[in-house]
């Protein structure tokens, strides 16, 4: 949200002496930022409205305007989505731009877009902080409820499938609507917003926005329970926030999560943690395993609604003021969380084509699979005894498995395909017998820390020309991906692995690195990009970082991959056989980290420096 200044405050600005006007404008600038101050103070005209305006929808105590979009030929009984714009926005800038209009056409639902009026708030913010506009049966909430009733009457909207979402002040008002009318809304989404009743005055609103208000989950939940007297069921809630949002601080994501998990009677420990388009995603489920609350943290993003312009299945929107190209379409994933998509009920088919069932295997084995789907295969995962070995996102699907890391005897392999609708298909089991003929004994493990003195990163042009050693390691860590200077970064880690016995049989190896920060999503640009590890037996040239490390020859390339971070650290999949062979038992082993493809725009990652990386090696002496 840009800011929550009330109409009374702006009237004071308009009529006050010059000195006070200057103070007013400074305060507005503090909360709006430059683009919004130009809109407000210079009186820039709003864009032409693209939807149909509806009048006479009720007593309208909140003095709001009502706009709607109804896809042609939509039958009665369709879902309804209410989308609430942010400050300095309007209904016409929050439909196609955010992807909701396109999704209404694709998934067949009606779209309701309430619009604030300058007479209520000269910055066009919904008044989420005014007591009169945060209670059931009055003010802006009642106006929006009356609009919903009008949509139900005019279009036969399904009363059990009504949802509300919003950005910033609109996100805070979405929380207001879920709290005051939980009997109306089946679900909601809070994008860069705040918890319900975080503030009940203009002065308190600023503190809620930045730095945020820290209450217990029960205290937050009590505010919602007191708003309506409703006993459940409660709306499911999707919460989105950029971790670089300095207008509404990301602490509000945590507080909103605590509020709505408490309302649902569930704890604040995520039941599922993964990454979606490279961004951390958490899901909180009830005792029956049903998702009730989810959170998305958009790393490196400021204040706005994340979109992903393009024509792909999961893409949407167009970038603009407070609508930010983050390579993830929030509206798409919110709609799927609510169950609006109905994309595809068909699981992909997948066949593990190699090795053959019942064969004996040893050493490094190539696993291959074929997969197909009526919409599209997103990835194929290879599993050993139910545990993930690795993933391939591009056909023909394959993975190298080092069977020496597995005990001799019977084992089961599967391939698992996931389509763009997250339907899952699993291959028939392939039974193999591992016969590496090891001498027996208990495997041992050594864990090596990287040598900070020899580590660093090198940046170069897209073709590898003009390499230069990066200078920001002491402050930011080791760089990967494309920086804001247009250069492409690769990092080098050195390990003294001479503690391994000279005749050791290496069974497996993994690399763990720590997360520092990121901008954008280098795993998603281009789509399917991978962070790979090259391995070198000994030092590649000098042991210390040098410009030749950017593209110099190594013992083995792409021996393992690191998936997008879902927490403070990430561990690679198992090194390939070539990667194990590159580990030096008598000296140093150097690992080069790089993205397999150069991002087309600024997308980068900083990983931990110092002795924070760990190379774990399992072996038989």
Examine the residue annotation and report whether 168 is marked as an active-site residue of this protein: yes
Q: What pLDDT, on a 0 to 100 scale, did the predictor assign at position 375?
A: 65
What whole-number percentage of the chain has pLDDT above 70?
Answer: 90
CATH class of the 444-620 domain in this structure: mainly beta
Q: What are the residue ranges of CATH 3.40.50.1820 in the chain?
A: 7-337
What pairs with residue 382 in β-bridges? 390, 415
Please write the tens of the pLDDT for every residue from 133-161: 999 999 999 999 999 999 999 999 999 99
What is the pLDDT of the chain when averaged over all its residues? 88
Mean pLDDT for the stretch of residues 292-307: 97
The CATH superfamily of 349-434 is: Immunoglobulins (2.60.40.10)
- Residues of each domain in the chain carrying CATH 2.60.120: 444-620
Whose structure tokens read 């000098």? 542
pLDDT in tens, 25-57: 333 333 333 333 223 222 333 333 458 999 999
Task: Quote the CATH superfamily of domain 7-337.
Answer: Alpha/Beta hydrolase fold, catalytic domain (3.40.50.1820)
Q: Cis peptide leading into 355, omega within 30 of 0?
A: yes
Catalytic residue among 168, 405, 491, 494: 168
Tell which residue, 387, 384, 418, 415, has the closest CA to residue 401. Answer: 384
* CATH 2.60.40.10 domain position(s) in the chain: 349-434
pLDDT tens, 542-570?
899 999 999 999 999 999 999 998 778 89
Q: What is the pLDDT of residue 438?
A: 55
pLDDT the model gives residue 197: 97
According to DSSP, residue 529 is labeled -
In whole angstroms, what is the distance from residue 234 CA to residue 293 CA? 11
* pLDDT tens-digit map of 252-277: 999 999 999 999 999 999 999 988 99
Q: What is the largest CA-CA distance in the chain?
A: 90
**448-457, 486-495, 566-575: lowest mean pLDDT where?**
566-575
Q: How confident is the model at residue 440 (pLDDT cuts 50, 70, 90)?
A: low
Q: What is the mean pLDDT of residues 401-425?
A: 87
Distance set, CA 294 to CA 119, 191, 314 (Å): 35, 12, 18
Closest of 514, 609, 497, 529 to residue 565, by C-alpha: 514
Euclidean distance between CA atoms 29 and 80, whole angstroms: 36
């Amino acid at each position: 949200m840009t800011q929550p200044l009330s109409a009374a405050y702006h009237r004071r600005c308009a009529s006050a002496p010059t000195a006070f006007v200057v103070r007013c404008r400074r305060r507005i600038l503090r909360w709006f930022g430059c683009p919004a101050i130009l809109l407000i103070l210079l009186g820039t005209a709003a864009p032409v409205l693209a939807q149909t305006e509806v009048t006479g929808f009720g007593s309208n105590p909140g003095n709001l305007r009502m706009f709607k979009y109804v896809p042609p030929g939509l039958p009665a009984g369709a879902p309804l989505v209410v989308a609430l714009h942010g400050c300095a926005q309007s209904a016409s800038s929050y439909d196609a731009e955010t992807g909701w209009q396109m999704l209404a056409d694709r998934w067949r639902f009606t779209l309701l877009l309430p619009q604030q009026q300058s007479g209520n708030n000269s910055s066009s913010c919904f008044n989420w902080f005014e007591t009169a506009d945060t209670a059931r049966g009055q003010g802006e909430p009642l106006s929006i409820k009356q609009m919903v009733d009008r949509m139900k009457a005019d279009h036969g909207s399904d009363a059990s499938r009504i949802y509300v979402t919003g950005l910033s002040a609109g996100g805070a008002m979405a929380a207001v609507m879920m709290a005051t009318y939980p009997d109306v809304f089946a679900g909601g989404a809070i994008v860069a917003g705040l918890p319900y009743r975080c503030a009940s005055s203009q002065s308190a609103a600023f503190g809620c926005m930045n730095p945020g208000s820290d209450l217990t989950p029960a205290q937050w939940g009590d505010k919602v329970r007191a708003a309506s007297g409703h006993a459940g069921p409660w709306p499911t809630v999707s919460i989105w926030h950029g971790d670089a949002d300095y207008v509404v601080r990301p602490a509000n994501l945590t507080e909103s999560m605590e509020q709505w998990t408490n309302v649902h009677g569930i704890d604040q420990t995520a039941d599922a943690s993964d990454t979606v388009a490279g961004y951390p995603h958490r899901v909180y489920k009830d005792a029956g395993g049903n998702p009730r609350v989810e959170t998305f943290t958009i790393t490196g993003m400021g204040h706005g609604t994340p979109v992903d312009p393009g024509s792909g299945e999961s893409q949407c929107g167009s970038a603009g003021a407070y609508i930010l190209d983050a390579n993830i379409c929030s509206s798409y994933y919110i709609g799927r969380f609510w169950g609006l998509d109905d994309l595809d009920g068909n699981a992909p088919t997948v066949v593990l084509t190699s090795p053959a069932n019942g064969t004996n295997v040893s050493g490094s084995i190539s696993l291959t699979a074929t997969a197909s789907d009526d919409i599209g295969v997103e990835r194929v995962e290879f599993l050993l005894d139910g545990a993930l070995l690795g993933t391939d996102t591009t056909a023909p699907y394959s993975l190298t498995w080092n069977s020496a890391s597995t005990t001799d005897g019977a084992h089961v392999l599967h391939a698992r395909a996931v389509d763009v609708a997250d339907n899952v298909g699993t291959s028939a089991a392939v039974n193999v017998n591992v016969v590496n003929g090891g001498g027996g004994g208990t495997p041992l493990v050594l864990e090596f820390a990287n040598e900070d003195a020899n580590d660093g990163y090198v940046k170069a042009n897209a073709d590898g020309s003009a390499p230069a050693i990066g200078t920001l390691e002491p402050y930011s860590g080791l760089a990967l991906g494309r920086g804001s200077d247009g250069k492409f970064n690769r990092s080098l880690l050195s390990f003294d692995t001479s503690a391994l016995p000279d005749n050791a049989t290496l069974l497996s190896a993994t690399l763990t690195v720590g997360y520092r920060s990121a901008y954008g999503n280098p795993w998603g640009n281009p789509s399917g990009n991978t962070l790979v590890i090259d391995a070198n037996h000994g030092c590649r040239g000098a042991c210390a970082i040098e410009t030749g490390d950017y593209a110099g020859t190594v013992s083995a390339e792409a021996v393992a991959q690191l998936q997008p971070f879902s927490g403070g650290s990430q561990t690679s999949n198992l090194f390939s056989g070539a990667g194990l062979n590159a580990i030096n038992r008598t000296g140093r082993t150097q690992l080069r980290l790089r993205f397999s493809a150069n991002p087309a725009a600024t997308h980068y990652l900083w990983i931990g420096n110092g002795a924070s990386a760990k190379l774990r090696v399992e072996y038989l002496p």
